[in-house]
Amino acid sequence: MTMGAQSPRERPGRFITFEGVEGSGKSTQLAALGRALAERGVSVVTTREPGGTPIGEAVRQLVLDPRFTGMSSRAELLLYGASRAEHVEHVILPALESGAIVLCDRFSEATVAYQAYGRGLPIDEVEAVIALATGGLRPDAVLLLDLPVDEGLRRVGRRALTNRLDLEPTGFHQRVRDGYLALAAREPNRIRLFDAGRPVEEVQRAILAMVEPLCQRVPTRSAR
Ligand code: TMP
């Protein structure tokens, strides 16, 4: 598959992902940004990983099921990869080719943070699965909502549902956070850091200010 390797310049849409440790508020921020862009007439597709397609959502049920505590790290990596391959081919690339802004709750940076930094899988294995699943598609911008792990887990504790990864010890989540911060330090222009400890509305405004210029050359619904 070479389609995913198409450069952003050749693709009419924009691909923006949200990342962060558990409880960082990325889903809330994604929904708010989606509404704000839609109000401005931008064609927006919101989606998530694992998930975003019927097969992806079935994989999500499986990979996050708290009963499967003993799942091998490589099986876990491949399940996230399977969900992503389906998602890229059937949802993300078609949306980008139609000129939409795709807002996705987690993508490849999550696999590096969780499966390489968190689980300790070799980075070359993780990158190989990512390359296979995405065909080289990378987000134009990654919005990293950063929060101390204890604060994030405290917020997650208030949620009714827990997923299998929420149940990991604090040390695992700390490695995930460190992994995300290392990725952001390596690519500060593409991976943008936001302090998720600040009030929700403030984070929302900062995200919109960062994203609006990216959407400037994307056709609005009325113009298409
Ligand atoms: P969330 O959508 O509630 O954040 O849950 C998804 C969980 O899956 C979260 O614990 C992070 C984890 N995850 C990975 O470990 N690797 C991945 O590649 C992705 C997309 C998510």
Task: Please say whether the beta carbons of 56 and 49 come within 8 A.
Answer: yes
Q: Tokens 């827990």 identify what position? A: 162
What's the one-letter identity of residue 196? Answer: A
Closest C-alpha to ligand 1, atom 21: 110
The DSSP output letter for 89 is I
User: pTM higher than 0.85, yes or no?
Assistant: yes
Q: Which of 166, 171, 144 is nearest to 153 (CA)?
A: 166
How far is residue 144's CA from residue 29's CA, in Å, rounded to a whole number?
A: 11
**3-class SS at 219?**
coil
Q: What is the pLDDT along the chain (224 residues), one digit of tens a residue?
A: 344 455 555 679 999 999 999 899 999 999 999 999 999 999 999 999 999 999 999 999 999 999 999 999 999 999 999 999 999 999 999 999 999 999 999 999 999 999 999 999 999 999 999 999 999 999 999 999 999 999 998 888 866 567 888 889 999 999 999 999 999 999 999 999 999 999 999 999 999 999 999 887 665 665 44
Determine whether the shortest distance from the Cβ of 50 to ligand 1 is under 6 A.
yes
Determine whether the shortest distance from the Cβ of 80 to ligand 1 is under 6 A.
yes
* Residue pLDDT, tens place only, 88-104: 999 999 999 999 999 99
* Residue pLDDT, tens place only, 32-43: 999 999 999 999
Q: Tokens 């990725």 identify what position? A: 183
Determine whether the shortest distance from the Cβ of 194 to ligand 1 is under 6 A.
no
Q: What are phi and psi of 28, to 5 degrees?
A: -65, -45
Can you identify the CATH homologous superfamily of domain 14-213?
P-loop containing nucleotide triphosphate hydrolases (3.40.50.300)
Spatial neighbors of 80 by CB under 8 A, at least 6 apart, are: 49, 50, 59, 63, 110, 111, 115, 129, 133
How far is residue 51's CA from residue 187's CA, in Å, rounded to a whole number?
A: 26
